[in-house]
């Protein structure tokens, strides 16, 4: 019973860490998807007196992904009733070119400012509309969301690391007696610590299986899918192969580190 209790305390501590790690992965994935969504909906309007090609635009910033020329035909159509065809033709010639610029990533406020400045260096560009006030609000919200989730993950990690440190002391006490007795009969270090590593690896395996199953069921639940579709983000919460490997790796690393610290910190009883 006592042994099961010892196993459970490490398994739960490891599970908490794995939970925090997976939340961090999901958060990162969601933010990335959200940034992509924002970048696809965000654009700048450039007014130029001369035609500018995509490659010419890209000289000012490599983040410019697509350039779309806005047609002035609809506006001219409205004027056709009141203006003579000759003047319409003159108007068409004198009208500047309107471009909508799409970027590959959602820019920071600084990047928007810098790009605007660069574009204005072109003498043919008369106006750049970057919708900065709208961009700033969205960007600041995104930053706030990022910071809150990072803080949340950080707090979970600190708490669980404290739990692990406590667990380490219990393990040191529990295993040092056996290791000491084995040492008195000439057992080499690897043999003395074999049980310790076996237990640590077993606990790591159990905790990662628990975490994998937990997130697998969360992914499969319709509630989660509904919640994600409400906020308009289509991401995979848990990818069994990649995320499962990360969780297993993290769990194994922590438990091996824990066991190694006990072996390194072990002092022969005199």
Q: Which of 184, 208, 178 is nearest to 11 (CA)?
A: 208
Task: Please say which residue, 89 or 181, places its beta carbon nearer to other proteins.
Answer: 181
Site string for other proteins, 127-146 (x = CB under 8 A): --------------------
User: Rounded CA gap, 160 and 166, in Å?
Assistant: 10
Four-point Cα dihedral 25, 31, 36, 38, nearest 10? 170
Among 23, 142, 163, 187, binds other proteins (CB under 8 A): 187
Span from 61-69, 90-98, 252-260, 262-270 in contact with other proteins (CB under 8 A): 262-270
Q: In sequence order, which residues have a C-beta less than 8 Å from that of residue 152 and are 6 or more positions away?
A: 23
Task: Please say which residue, 75 or 191, places its beta carbon nearer to other proteins.
Answer: 191
User: Rounded CA gap, 252 and 18, in Å?
Assistant: 11
Task: Please say which residue, 117 or 269, places its beta carbon nearer to other proteins.
Answer: 269
Instruction: State whether residue 63 is helix, strand or coil.
Output: coil
Residues 188-227 that bind other proteins (CB under 8 A): 188-189, 191
# of chain residues touching other proteins (CB under 8 A): 16
User: Which residues does residue 64 pair with via DSSP β-bridges, in sequence order?
Assistant: 103
Asked if 257 touches other proteins (CB under 8 A), the answer is no
In the block, tokens 């068409």 appear at: 92
Contact positions vs other proteins (CB under 8 A): 3, 177-178, 181-189, 191, 268-270
């Amino acid at each position: 019973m006592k042994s099961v209790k010892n196993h459970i305390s490490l398994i739960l501590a490891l599970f908490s860490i794995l939970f925090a790690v997976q939340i961090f992965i999901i958060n990162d994935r969601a933010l990335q998807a959200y940034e992509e969504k924002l970048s696809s909906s965000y654009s700048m309007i450039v007014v130029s007196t001369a035609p500018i090609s995509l490659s010419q635009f890209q000289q000012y910033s490599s983040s410019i992904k697509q350039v779309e020329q806005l047609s002035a035909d609809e506006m001219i159509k409205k004027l056709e009733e009141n203006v003579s065809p000759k003047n319409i033709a003159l108007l068409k010639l004198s009208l500047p070119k309107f471009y909508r610029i799409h970027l590959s990533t959602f820019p920071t406020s600084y990047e928007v400012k810098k790009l605007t400045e660069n574009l204005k260096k072109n003498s043919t560009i008369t106006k750049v509309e970057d919708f900065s006030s709208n961009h700033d609000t969205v960007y600041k919200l995104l930053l706030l969301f990022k910071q809150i989730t990072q803080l949340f993950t950080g707090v979970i990690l600190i708490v669980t690391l404290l739990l692990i440190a406590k667990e380490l002391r219990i393990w040191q006490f529990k295993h040092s007696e056996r290791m000491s007795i084995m040492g008195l009969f000439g057992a080499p270090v690897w043999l003395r610590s074999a049980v310790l590593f076996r237990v640590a690896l077993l606990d790591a395996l159990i905790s990662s299986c628990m975490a994998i199953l937990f997130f697998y069921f969360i992914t499969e639940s319709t509630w989660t899918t509904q919640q994600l579709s409400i906020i308009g983000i289509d991401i995979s919460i848990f990818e069994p192969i990649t995320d499962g490997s990360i969780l297993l790796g993290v769990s194994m690393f922590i438990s091996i580190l824990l066991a190694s610290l006990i072996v390194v910190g072990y002092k022969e009883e005199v």
